[in-house]
């Protein structure tokens, strides 16, 4: 699709993921806007917009990945600065939406933090949110502004199709909650489907129970939207291997990897982790036994930004069952 850069569009970024922001800017064909995002001596975030943005359509690229609190505050402060500089519209480009797992009261006297974060985003003056693979799709309902929810599957599926060494394979959900996402992979890639029933011991420990489906003598692709400690993935991989699977791979949109995750993956049955750059991955160099492949999502987000700016449909980018 032909696109002529419109001077009325401005792209800004905080410090969360400058490499992704630059990739998006390169695809759109515009430079990143001139903004100073620094910190005062006491740690408070300081923002200054160094160019005229009055009447402009502004996109702020800032995933709220770790450190989540810091990156969220940068986004909110950037949005307030842009709003007070009289931008016409502000879109928060949040490839990764932090706090998404705190979306309900699963115990007495706990907050629904995802809703609180949505309220803060709206209160800061943001008019629209662009995000990728929300942990729960119903999070869109927490916002009183439009939410464009994209899927990383088209990016991941193209790569997986090109990997002849583990095709054919079986798509396996590491837990029941991810079954719908895994079913989309299976339908798109025309492969079989299975799922793991699990019981979580704590926020860092998972004990898998059983596989629904036959993985014997098949390569397996574990599918998930997010991993932080890799407990779910590695326990599912161990179960798949014990059930007769040949090689085990994993495809995860958001690899928010802790030290515990790296340690577990290196010791696990997972041969390779395939992910995207929705979040920075400084721990990638630590992998030796378990390979890691990071795919760029810049073009997908850049295309969505161009269409939003041009008031064009972005529904085709939502499709997860096509090429």
Distances (CA, A) of 309 to 77, 78, 285: 22, 19, 37
Please state, in angstroms and rounded to a whole number, the distance separating the CA atoms of residues 82 and 124: 10
What DSSP assignment string belongs to 44-63?
-EEEEE-S--TT-EEEEE--
What DSSP assignment string belongs to 176-209?
GGGHHHHHHHHHHHT-EEEEEEEEE-SSS-EEEE
Distances (CA, A) of 318 to 148, 149, 154, 307: 8, 7, 9, 13
Please state, in angstroms and rounded to a whole number, the distance separating the CA atoms of residues 26 and 22: 6
Q: Which residue has the tokens 């073009």?
A: 299
Closest listed residue to residue 60, CA positions, set 72, 44, 69, 70: 72
With beta carbons less than 8 A apart as the criterion, state whether 173 and 200 touch: no
Please state, in angstroms and rounded to a whole number, the distance separating the CA atoms of residues 276 and 126: 25
* Catalytic residue from among 198, 241, 246, 319: 198
Told to judge if 246 belongs to the known catalytic residues of this protein, a careful annotator would answer no
Q: Which residues are catalytic?
A: 198
């Amino acid at each position: 699709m032909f696109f002529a850069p419109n001077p009325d569009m401005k792209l800004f970024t905080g410090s969360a993921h400058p490499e992704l922001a630059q990739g998006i800017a390169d695809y759109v064909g515009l430079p990143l806007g001139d903004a100073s995002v620094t910190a005062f001596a006491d740690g408070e975030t300081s923002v200054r917009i160094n160019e005229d943005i009055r009447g402009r359509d502004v996109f702020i690229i800032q995933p709220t990945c770790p450190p989540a609190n810091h990156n969220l505050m940068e986004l909110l402060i950037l949005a307030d600065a842009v709003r007070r500089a009289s931008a016409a519209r502000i879109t928060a480009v949040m490839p990764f939406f932090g706090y998404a797992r705190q979306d309900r009261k699963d115990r007495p006297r706990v907050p629904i933090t995802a809703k609180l974060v949505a309220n803060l985003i709206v209160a800061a003056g943001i008019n629209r949110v662009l995000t990728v693979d929300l942990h729960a799709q119903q999070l869109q309902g927490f916002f009183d502004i439009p939410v464009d929810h994209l899927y990383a599957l088209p990016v991941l599926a193209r790569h997986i199709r090109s990997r002849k060494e583990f095709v054919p394979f079986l798509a396996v959900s590491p837990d029941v909650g991810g079954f719908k996402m895994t079913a989309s992979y299976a339908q798109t890639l025309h492969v079989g489907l299975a799922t793991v029933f699990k019981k979580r011991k704590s926020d860092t420990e998972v004990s898998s129970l059983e596989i629904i489906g036959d993985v014997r003598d098949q390569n397996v692709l574990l599918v998930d939207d997010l991993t932080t400690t890799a407990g779910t993935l590695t326990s599912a991989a161990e179960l798949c291997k014990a059930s007769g699977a040949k090689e085990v791979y994993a495809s995860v949109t958001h690899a928010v990897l802790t030290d515990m995750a790296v340690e577990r993956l290196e010791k696990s049955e997972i041969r390779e982790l395939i992910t995207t750059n929705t979040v920075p991955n400084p721990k990638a160099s630590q992998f030796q036994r378990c390979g890691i492949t990071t795919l760029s999502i810049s073009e997908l987000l850049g295309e969505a930004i161009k269409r939003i700016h041009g008031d064009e449909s972005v529904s085709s980018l939502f499709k997860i069952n096509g090429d």
